[in-house]
Every structure is written in C-alpha cells, then in structure tokens.
Chains A and B, each alone.
Chain A
Amino acid sequence: MNIKMPKWFYQLASPKWSYDIMGMLMPWFGLAALLLLVTGIVWGLMFAPPDYQQGNSYRIIYIHVPSAILAQSCFMLMAVAGIIGMVWKMKVAHIVAKSAAPIGASMTIIALSTGAIWGKPTWGAWWVWDARLTSMLILLFLYLGIIALYSAFSNKASGDQAASILTLVGVVNIPIIKYSVEWWNTLHQPASFTLTKKPAMPPEMWVPLLIMVLGYYCFFAYVLMARTRIELLEREHKSGWVTALLTDTP
C-alpha cells in the first residue's frame, strides 16, 4: 500500500508558504465572519419567532449551539493536525494545533456558560451531572491539559509530541459528547440541528442558526490563521524568510 499525498499537502509543510497563503485568505474569512455573525445575531435575536414553550429564552440557542459545534470541530481539527504532525513530522501541523487549542477552550467555556444560563429558566437548574454536560466539561479539561502540555517543555518538539498524544487520547470524547443524549437518559435534549436529518424547527428559526454556525466557522478560521501566523513567526524567527520579511517591510 502506497498512499501518495497531493502536492499542496507537502507545500503546507513549508512555514513560509503557509504564512503567505494564510495572509492571503485571512481577510476574506474575517469579512465573511463579520457579515454572517451580524446577520445571524440580528435575525436570530430580533426577527426569529419566539418558541411556543420557552418564549424568548430559547434565543440563546443562536450562541449556544454554534459554540458547542465549534468546540467539537476544533478538537477534531487538532486531532487531525496532531496525527499529521506526528506521522509526517510536519512542524506547521503542530503549530496549527497549538494555535487552535485556546480558541477551542474558549468555545467550550461559552457553550458551558450559555448552557447554564439557559438551563436555569427552562430546566430549573444551572448544572446537572448528566452525560452531555459532564462530557462537555471533560472536553474543557482536555483543552486545558493540552494547552498546559504545549508549554510544559523547554524543547518545543517534545511539547508538540506530548500534546498530540493527549489530543489523540481525548478525541475519543468527541463521539461520546455527540451520542451522549442518545446512549443514556439525560436532561439535555437530543440535537435539533444535524447534517443528516431535517431540523426540528421551522426555517425562520433554523436559517439564522445555520448562518450563525457558518459565521462561527469563518470567525474560527480567521482567528486560527492569525494565531498560527504569529506562532510561525515566533518559531521561525531565526530563519531567512522571517528576517527578509522583517527587513523588507518599511
């Protein structure tokens, strides 16, 4: 078995190439994120109809659901980047994973806190130790552990290696979060919004939610590229292309 990787895959391994391509893509993602997030939030909070049971308090879904989706997507991305970094010894992959970790942790914190704020008026409790909430809390601790591991070694390569292994161990938690509401009795309701099924709400409710999710993805891409570029400069500060970059700019 001999798998041949496409050319761009190897180009990504070049810090300079990655730095340049990200600098080119960044403004577009930033602009898309701004447009989508403003549209989604105004539509969701002001124009979407209230819910027949929960009234207006359900509107926190427009923050809660995209954050929770991103918290998990970010972890998946870090796991894929971790494997690439480990197997192909690709430094850029580790840098991407390292830059993604704090964003994912923030998304998890937003999902947990908006969930608590939503839980109090609807369920009657800020926090319940059900499978969904607990597995999400474990995800936060995994993120914090990974962030700590990246900076726990004076040799950056050892930190990358250790954090990637923890990411691969932790990725098992992602399907648990996703299926927790189906495998066990939980207080948290099953997903309203999935790729495979029709949304459990009318279009005037799910369209702004979809816009918010896309906006979150663009925002995530924007912040990730910004952080990755800074990390690239920092790690490559002795290499020729960074020196050239710094001396060329007026």
Chain B
Amino acid sequence: MTPKRKQRMTIALLIVFGTALIVGLVMYALKQNINLFYSTTQIVKGEAPKDARIRVGGMVLKGSLQRDPNSLHVSFLVTDTAENVKVEYTGILPDLFREGQGIIAQGKLDTQGVFQADEVLAKHDENYMPPEIAESMKNAKPTTEAKP
C-alpha cells in the first residue's frame, strides 16, 4: 500500500473504532434501560422502580396458575428459580402461554408487592422440535421440568 492509501486506511479504521467506542460507552451508560424487563429477583430486592410502568420477565411457576371461572381474570407466580412474584392480569393470554413457559408482563407493582399486569407476552426459546420428539423426550424423563 502506498503511504497515501495507508493514511486513508488509518482514517477509515479510526471512524469504525471511534464510533464503536462512543456507542459502546453510550450503551454501557444505558445498560439498565436497554433491558426489556426486570427479573423477579431484581423486583423482590426492590431494584425496580415503584409507581412506574415496568416489565417483569420469568417463567410461570408450574401449578401456580389460577383462573377465575366467571371472568378473564388470571393470577400466577413468575419465577427466575430464586424469587417469585405474583402477577394478576385480566385479558386474553397469548397462545404460547403455559405453565413452565417464559413470559414477560407489563404493568405496575401494587403496595402488596403484587404485579398488576395490563399486557402479558409469551417468550419462547430458540429450540424447535417436532411434536413426536418432544413427546418421547417427555416420556423418557417424566420428572424433569423445563429450565428457564
């Protein structure tokens, strides 16, 4: 490479790494704001803001789902395996909502520490498999529960 080209290459690389540094610092500063949701441990520890609309994410605890037979009101426990948060919600749940599945709920914490959700989204993982394989895996080890 000629000296002129070397100089221009330096400028080009400076642009790339300079921007990377700036963006990296900005993202570091905004770390918490980029996270879509708080974990249940963060909420129980009081790290999540009170009186603000926040999202909580975790797994629906198996056997904790209670449906009101007369309305669309449901309540369930969300867990990250360490701490649980009770969520109450009135409305239609997404198709993938089931016990043992990851969810993200948006709403507010009330004074009793119950999360009053106005939106519940189902999170799914990156694993795909045909129903027969899922069935045989379930039969092979019936006691294991899905990990978050």
Interface residues of A (CB under 8 A from B): 2-3, 5, 49-54, 58, 61, 79, 82-83, 86-88, 121-125, 128-131, 165, 168-169, 171-173, 176, 183-187, 189-192, 200-202, 204-205
Contact = CB atoms under 8 A, between A and B. Distances in A.
B12 A83 contact: yes
Contacts of A131: 34-36
A192 B126 contact: yes
A189 B27 CA distance: 20
A190 B15 CA distance: 30
Contacts of B126: 189-192, 200
A60 to B, nearest CB: 12
Contacts of A123: 94, 96, 121-124
A122 B12 contact: no
Given A122-B95, A171-B16, A200-B127, A87 B35 contact: no
Interface in B1-15: 1, 5, 8-9, 11-12, 15
Q: Closest 9 A-B residue pairs measured CB to CB?
A: A124-B94, A52-B134, A49-B130, A201-B128, A192-B126, A130-B36, A185-B35, A189-B126, A52-B131
B66 interface: no
Interface of B: 1, 5, 8-9, 11-12, 15-16, 19-20, 23, 27, 34-37, 39, 57, 93-97, 101, 104, 119-135
B126 to A, nearest CB: 4
A184 B35 contact: yes
Given A168-B12, A185-B37, A187-B104, A205 B128 contact: yes
Contacts of B125: 189-190, 200
Contact of A51 (B11, B16, B94, B129): B129
B121 A86 contact: no
Contact of A124 (B19, B35, B39, B120): B120
Contacts of B135: 52
Contacts of B5: 87-88
SS of A interface (majority): loop
A165 B135 CA distance: 53
B69 to A, nearest CB: 23
Contacts of A129: 36
Given A122-B95, A192-B126, A202-B130, 6 more contacts: A51-B131, A82-B12, A124-B94, A176-B27, A187-B121, A201-B128
17 contacts: A51-B130, A52-B131, A53-B101, A53-B124, A86-B8, A123-B96, A124-B94, A124-B95, A125-B119, A128-B36, A165-B15, A185-B57, A187-B104, A189-B126, A190-B126, A200-B127, A205-B130
Contacts of A54: 96, 124, 128
Contacts of A202: 129-130, 133
